[in-house]
Amino acid sequence: MRYTTKQQQEFYETSKKYLDHPNADSLSPADLPVLENLARFHEYRYYVLDDPMLSDFEYDQLYKLLEALEKKYPDAASPNSPTQRVGGTLTEDFASVQHLIPMLSLDNSYNADDLYKFDTQVKKLTEREDILYTVEPKFDGGSIAIIYENNQLIRTATRGNGVEGEEITIQSRTIKSLPLEADFRSKGIYRAELRGEAVISKERFKAINAFRAEEGLTLLANSRNSATGGLRTKDPAETARRQLDAFIFQMGFAEDENGNDMLPSIRSHHAAIDFLGSIGFKVSQGEKKVCHGIDEVIEQCNHWATIRDDYPYEIDGMVIKVDEFDLQDMCGFTSHHPRWAIAYKFQAKQATTKLLDIEYQIGKIGSLTPVAKVAPVALAGVTISSISLHNEDFIKSKDLRIGDQVLIERAGDVIPYIVKAFPELRTGDEKEVEYPTHCPSCHTLLVREEDEAAWRCTNPECEAQILQRLIFHVSKDAMDIDGFGEKYILRFYDLGWIRTMADIYRLDYEKIAQLEGFGEKSAEKIKNAVEKAKKNPIARLLHSLSIHHLGQRASKLLAEKITHVLDLANWSVEDYTSIKDIGPVVAENTIRWFSNENNIEMLREMEAAGVNLTQTESDKPKELITDGVFSGKTILFTGTLTQMGRKEAQQKAEAAGAKNISAVSKNLDILVVGEKAGSKLEKAVKIGSIQIMTEAEFVDLIG
């Protein structure tokens, strides 16, 4: 507790005194710090401890008194007063900021066996048998990193890509459970970076959606999106309206005035969390448990699986951490996660509903994706009405019929998935699925290549494909034209202003400014974003062209070898395949793309419009590509994959940094198992060190 009993008694009595005479006229500037501290105390009782001492009405009275007095004596008011949480200003653009230390993610576990493996590794790394673990809830919200300097909150950032995030300081100041000031100096700490999760309580989430439904606004998808959306809104007043909470789960960094590391003096994770709780932060104090050994950890995880639904916040699992900092140091990190911590994910949630219809969508390279339309059903906090069915084989393997009752699940609590149909519930009115033979957009006959799971429309002029390619071209993964999303593409396409990617770079901004809903300011914004994108490295440009199988990584590898994008027009298969990790499939597709005169012409037009086509510093070879989820890992697929063909899976793994190998041995890092996996799986289990992953987990990871 941040306050002693005596202090609390005093705060209570003083509050009552002010409440007896709530009139600012009778007060002087000397009352300001007193009232401010009272408001801070009651805010803490309410938002951090969930245990208010005053009624809402009384707290409101005190708060209003403070506001009135601050208005009367503005020069004496403090910038960190509880009334100053919502500043008046809007954020123009979120500034990109570097984290003091990278924000890694956690490795996942799903059952007791995974936890035993984790324990074995920890024991090996620390050469200790008696390990203390802390077990605490894994909050499902938005990750934040908060820096305090000299006891003051000075900066908050989102996780971003883990190395860089977006600055959201003014948004975070509206989170009432996040202190604007905290007494780090009591432990000699001058600067600290804390990690935590901004969340929305289940109750608050329901209330927001009830309000939105009444107002006819679109409903928020789930509490996690509501929390992350609340952080990333440019208007801090909107963040305040969402009433987020911030749970602090890690002290990432602490140093004194001379830059000395202060973490060793705190010694353990549980001591750090207790300390943070004692200086006013919302932490999992009561929820966390220090466990002696892995069996106690497993017991605690099982217990939480039974009570998670009653917990006031959405949690998707538990986090297990080696408690002592010295031992954490001995465990170290991989490039993605600490070896001293692991997430234990709860079972995905399931529900049953009716398959009403199947719609078909054409993607940027013409692949046809069937999408199930189901009777809306609530699943783990989200209403589900559409579910991807991946491809024809998936539908066949599940023997789905229109009208079937189906079991659905949210794998990893995110992607909805059809587990199976219930043939025993069929009434005879169900209809067999008639898979289309022609493109729903341009009616071209669909083809399916060997080793590919999807049927494809091969008409390069297909309007649906053109639109999808344009949408992809401007997206974050491709040219990253900020603010230029699907909506603008569709609008400018309808107006006939955009037909090819080159048109994006020669828009008439004066005409855009005249459009309804636009104006000079938004036209200027688009122009700036487009101008910025023109300078992108060619690796981005290559990826943005939607050449089948040419992913982010392969684009980088090609960019390293050329000085100008049009060099590729003269490349042979051997030129491509002589590059390590580029195979004949990428080669053939890229050659085909560059042999189309229209594409060459489009690149020339782009260049004429100012788009960079020559190699830049960032295209040049780097020692290691470390930004894929599987960077540096070897991978092997076994059994029958249901969501994609084997080759496609291998390409995807490669694009995420993995190297495909063909045999199970100690050199293998990851084995992805499809249906009816046999001897390879057995061998991998025997070896023990290989990470075994289901196809769904693989798909989840590559996003």
Binders of ligand IVH in range 282-321 (CB under 6 A): 319
By the 10 Å C-beta count (0-12 exposed, 13-18 middle, 19+ buried), 420 is classed as middle
Nearest to ligand IVH of 134, 151 (CB atom): 134
Residues 6+ positions from 303 with CB-CB distance below 8 Å: none
Nearest to ligand IVH of 249, 637 (CB atom): 249
CB of 110 to ligand IVH, least distance (A): 14
Q: Of the ranges 200-208, 323-331, 335-343, 447-455, which one interacts with ligand IVH (CB under 6 A)?
A: 335-343
**Does position 138 bind ligand IVH by CB under 6 A?**
yes
Residue 624, helix vs strand vs coil: coil
CB of 308 to ligand IVH, least distance (A): 13
**Does position 136 bind ligand IVH by CB under 6 A?**
yes
Options 15, 109, 134, 143; binder of ligand IVH; rule CB under 6 A = 143
Token pair in block for residue 347: 């079972």
Token pair in block for residue 524: 């200027």
The C-alpha atoms of residue 550 and residue 267 are separated, in whole angstroms, by 48
**Does position 394 bind ligand IVH by CB under 6 A?**
no
Options 44, 249, 417, 576; binder of ligand IVH; rule CB under 6 A = 249
- Write each residue from 161 to 200 as x if it is in contact with ligand IVH (CB under 6 A), else as -, in one continuous string: ------------------------------------x---
DSSP string covering 344-370, please? EEPPPPEEEEEEEEEEEEE-TT-BEEE
Residue 675: Cβ within 10 Å count:
11
By the 10 Å C-beta count (0-12 exposed, 13-18 middle, 19+ buried), 222 is classed as buried
Token pair in block for residue 557: 């590898």
CB of 195 to ligand IVH, least distance (A): 6
Residue from 312, 314, 289 nearest 302 by CA? 289
138 is catalytic: yes
Nearest to ligand IVH of 371, 415 (CB atom): 415
Options 28, 105, 111, 334; binder of ligand IVH; rule CB under 6 A = 105
**Does position 338 bind ligand IVH by CB under 6 A?**
yes
CB of 104 to ligand IVH, least distance (A): 4
**Does position 222 bind ligand IVH by CB under 6 A?**
no
CB of 373 to ligand IVH, least distance (A): 32
Options 68, 104, 513, 591; binder of ligand IVH; rule CB under 6 A = 104
Using N-to-C axis directions, what is the helix angle for 552-561 and 646-655, rounded to 10°? Answer: 60
Nearest to ligand IVH of 140, 167 (CB atom): 140
**427: phi then psi, degrees, rounded to nearest 5:** -105, -10
Options 77, 168, 343, 365; binder of ligand IVH; rule CB under 6 A = 343
**Does position 70 bind ligand IVH by CB under 6 A?**
no
Binders of ligand IVH in range 7-26 (CB under 6 A): none
Token pair in block for residue 492: 């400018």
CB of 479 to ligand IVH, least distance (A): 28
CA separation, residue 55 to residues 62, 65, 444 (Å)? 11, 16, 68
Options 59, 139, 576, 593; binder of ligand IVH; rule CB under 6 A = 139
Nearest to ligand IVH of 102, 363 (CB atom): 102
The C-alpha atoms of residue 423 and residue 311 are separated, in whole angstroms, by 36
The C-alpha atoms of residue 562 and residue 286 are separated, in whole angstroms, by 58
Options 169, 228, 250, 544; binder of ligand IVH; rule CB under 6 A = 250
By the 10 Å C-beta count (0-12 exposed, 13-18 middle, 19+ buried), 345 is classed as buried
CB of 542 to ligand IVH, least distance (A): 31
**Does position 151 bind ligand IVH by CB under 6 A?**
no
Contact predicate 619/567, CB 8 Å:
no
What residue type is 331 in one-letter code?
Answer: C
150-188 core/surface letters (b: 16 or more CB in 10 A; e: else): ebebebbbbbbeeeebbbbbbbbbbbbbbbbebebeebe
**Does position 106 bind ligand IVH by CB under 6 A?**
yes
CB of 143 to ligand IVH, least distance (A): 3
Number of amino acids touching ligand IVH (CB under 6 A): 15
CB of 109 to ligand IVH, least distance (A): 12
Q: Of the ranges 69-77, 133-141, 438-446, 644-652, which one interacts with ligand IVH (CB under 6 A)?
A: 133-141
Catalytic residue, candidates 138, 176, 289, 680? 138
Residues 6+ positions from 218 with CB-CB distance below 8 Å: 212
Give the footprint of ligand IVH on this chain (CB under 6 A).
104-106, 136, 138-139, 143, 159, 197, 249-250, 319, 338, 341, 343
The catalytic site residues sit at 138
